[in-house]
Amino acid sequence: MTKSVRRVAVLCIGAAALISSAAALAADSAAKPPVTAKPPATATKPPAAAQYYPLVGYWKGLAQLSVPGQAPAKLSVKFGCSKVSTGWAVRCEMIAKNDKMTITESDLMGVDSLTGVGHWYSVTSEGETHDHVTEWPEENTMKAHYNWKQDGKQMAEEISFVFHGQRSLEFRSTTTADGKKTGDFFGKLMH
């Protein structure tokens, strides 16, 4: 037998074995009901980040920025949020401006699956980078907190979002240094 005839013979024997195995498998499968895989448990319940879904959409309105010793600045605000990471996070972009200043902010919100703690990570055009811890003391109210040290002072930022139905919200961000107010940014946005 030549090498090429042996190769053809081996291929034919292999093909015959595969065909008979497939036929046996098909006969076995016909006798048993089909097994369907269950989706992972996490796929059946909404992601913990669903608590941030009320923010999703495009918001706009007016705000005021107050700093001690300066006249309050009125600003127009645009705030857009969307679900990301297949719903496990919400990402937002904010632009607040008037004819003298523009402040931008990028946000990412999600819940740590190990601790159950909500986080709101923000970076602003002012160089601020904060990892706020969030909570929902009431169904329509989100609060966020961030504490840090700066120039030997204990700094804190307290933020609240209060939703009035699905079409409007009020927000307030207050910063303090050693318990004294250093800034207040508040306003109302419509959806």
Q: Is residue 40 part of a domain?
A: no
Range of the domain at 11: 1-34
Rounded to a whole number of angstroms, the distance between the first and last alpha carbons of the chain is 82
Candidates 185, 181, 153; CA nearest to 172 is 185
Residues 91 and 170 in one domain: yes
CA quadruple 107, 161, 90, 124: dihedral, nearest 10: 0
Residues 103 and 162 in one domain: yes
Residues 7 and 68 in one domain: no
Residues 29 and 66 in one domain: no
Contacts of 89 (CB under 8 A, 6+ apart): 49, 52, 83, 108, 109, 110
pLDDT by residue for the chain (191 residues), tens digit each?
Answer: 444 434 334 333 343 443 344 444 444 444 545 444 444 554 556 789 999 999 999 999 999 999 999 999 999 999 999 999 999 999 999 999 999 999 999 999 999 989 999 999 999 999 999 999 999 999 999 999 999 999 999 999 999 999 999 899 999 999 999 999 999 999 999 99
- Predicted TM-score of the model (pTM): 0.74
Q: Is residue 53 part of a domain?
A: yes
CA–CA gap between residue 122 and residue 106 (Å, rounded):
6
Residues 105 and 16 in one domain: no
Q: What is the CATH number of the domain that holds 184?
A: 2.40.128.20
CA–CA gap between residue 153 and residue 92 (Å, rounded):
30
